């Protein structure tokens, strides 16, 4: 039981880190292209 719980939380941590990485890259891109945030938003999607 404990092992299953541990692996599940580890998986959550991994996806959480991935999400943070994506958001930080997105924020950096927005900051670099602040004059055209909509354009960078469209490019990110």
Distance CA 8, CA 14 (A): 10
- If phi > 0 it is left, if psi is from -120 to 50 it is alpha, else beta; for residue 36 that is beta
Specify the pLDDT at position 24.
93
Coil/strand/helix, residue 45: coil
Residue 41 CA to residue 44 CA, distance in Å, equals 5
Residue 1 is predicted with a pLDDT of 46
Average pLDDT, consecutive stretches of 10 residues, N- to C-terminus, the chain (45 residues): 60 88 89 70 71
| 26: its two tokens | 């997105």
């Amino acid at each position: 039981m404990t092992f299953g719980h541990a692996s599940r939380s580890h998986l959550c941590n991994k996806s959480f880190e991935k999400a943070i990485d994506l958001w930080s890259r997105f924020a950096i891109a927005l900051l670099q292209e602040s004059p055209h945030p909509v354009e960078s938003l469209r490019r990110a999607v």
